[in-house]
Every structure is written in C-alpha cells, then in structure tokens.
Amino acid sequence: MSFQYNMNSLDKCLDSMDPIEKMYDGILADVRSFGDTVTSDQLRAGEQVAVMDRLVSLDTYPLLCQAAKAAGFVIDSARLTGLSYCATLQRQANDEQHNAARLRSELAGKKQRREILELEAEERRLKIEQDAELEQRQAEIRAKLEEESHELKEAALERKLALNKREIEAKREAMKGEDAATIQFLTALNNMGVDMTAFMCTAGGMKVASSVLSQAASLQKGNCKEEHTIKGVINAPKIKTEDNSVDIAWSST
C-alpha cells in the first residue's frame, strides 16, 4: 500500500513524538481490523475487486487518519501497489484451482459421455426407424409381387381355359364333320337298298366302310346288338353306270 499525505500543522508535528511510527501503528491496526472482515472465500470467489476497492478507501483506515491528524498531517489518498497471498492462503488457492480444474475436466468428460450416449441413442432410434421402414417396404414389395403373381396365374389359367375351349370346339367340329361323312355314307348305302343291320354286322361290310368308320368317333365304340346268320356268301359285283360312277349291288343267299 502507498499513502499520500501532507502536513497541515508544523506545531503538532513538532509536539508529536515520532509521528511516522504512530501512523504506521495505525495502519497495522486498521489492516488487522480490515482483515477480520474479509474471508479467504471472498478472495478466492472472484470478489477481489470489491476487496481492493475497500483497500484504497480512506474509510478503511480510521486509526491511520486519527494518528496523522494528531501529528499535524492529513492523509490525501491510498493506493494499492500489489496484492499477494500468504503461504497458507496461496496453498488453499492452488488446491482450489486444482480441484476446480479437475471438476471442470470431470464435467467436460461427463458432458462428452452424455453427448456420446445421446448420439448412440439417436443412432439406435434412426436404425429402428430405418429397419421398420425397410421392413414395410419389403412387405409392400412382397404384397405387390404376390398380387402380380396371382394376376399372372389367373391370366395363365384363363389362357389355358380358352385354349382348352378352342381345342374342344375344334374336336367337336371335327367330330361333326366325321359324323356327317359317316351319315352321308350310310345314307347312300341305305338309299341303294342295303340292309344296314346286316351290313354293319358283316366282316365284308365293315371292311368296305372301315376307311370312313375308323375316323367316326361316335361309331368306334358302337356294338352290333342284333345277331344275324348269313347263309352263303355275300357277292358284291360292281356295276358301272352311264355317268361312270360305280354302284354296288348287294345280294345274299
């Protein structure tokens, strides 16, 4: 600390015994009294500015001002030239700084771990959402494929049914043609006076008609229900007509 003062009474100064020592004793007393009002926590808690403001205030040094006045002096101002801690207070300050640094490091570590946990939780949440979305897409694709497969199967079945229908119709038309040819042939025989029952039950008649009857599906499974006894031999002479067609004359004995 540095104090600026001036003399305002020479008589008092001369009458005073060692005024400097008396003012020094006043300073020591004032500083002890001031120290009793300041705690180490205030010095370590960032309140040094308030403490320093009090140190440079003359109201903090009433005994100094009183001793100076008694010796014919006036204290004009006080100036703080430096501030240092005692060994104990310095050790406490160092310990607190170390602890504060350790706490800050721990807090930073906890904050970092919390951020990592939050990132991991967010990553898991996103993965769950992505898995759910992927599963939904796969289900939609499977449903679409099943629908398309069903449609293809239905189309194939419809084509098969249509083809079968056309085949049946073609067979029916062919059978109709075959039956028509057979009926026409038998009608011609009947018109010539051939005994159709006897004709259909003889080997010779079946041989003559085999080329037509073999393609007639409606007659392939037919059976001759009547039995006939043919006596003699059936002769079938060929008679050539005027229009060069051939008529068959049948006779039996």
User: Tell me: the pLDDT tens digits for 227-246?
Assistant: 333 333 334 444 444 444 44
Q: Which of 13-17, 77-81, 92-96, 198-202 has the lowest mean pLDDT?
A: 198-202
What tokens does 233 get?
A: 């031999």
pLDDT class of 113 with cuts at 50, 70, 90: very high
Identify the bridge partners of residue 37 per DSSP, sorted by sequence position.
Answer: none
Under DSSP, is residue 222 helix (H, G, I), strand (E, B) or coil? coil
Q: Could you tell me the residue ranges of all domains in the chain?
A: 2-83, 86-182
Whether 116 has a pLDDT exceeding 90, the answer reads: yes
Task: Return the pLDDT at 186.
Answer: 73
CA distance 190 to 182: 12
pLDDT class of 37 with cuts at 50, 70, 90: confident
CA dihedral defined by 206, 211, 215, 220, rounded to 10 degrees? 10
Task: Return the pLDDT at 229.
Answer: 36
Task: Return the pLDDT at 205.
Answer: 61
- The dihedrals phi and psi of 4, each to the nearest 5 degrees, come to -105, 130
Cβ atoms within 10 Å of 68's Cβ, excluding its own:
25
- Residue identified by tokens 């308030």 is 50
Query: Whole-prediction pTM value?
Result: 0.37
CB 52, CB 80: distance < 8 Å: yes
Q: Check residues 34 and 202 and name the one with the higher pLDDT.
A: 34
pLDDT class of 212 with cuts at 50, 70, 90: low
Whether 28 has a pLDDT exceeding 80, the answer reads: yes
Whether 192 has a pLDDT exceeding 80, the answer reads: yes
Under DSSP, is residue 3 helix (H, G, I), strand (E, B) or coil? strand
CB 91, CB 25: distance < 8 Å: no
The stretches of the chain forming alpha helices (DSSP H) are: 10-15, 19-36, 40-44, 48-55, 62-70, 87-191, 196-200, 203-213, 217-220
CA distance 178 to 159: 28
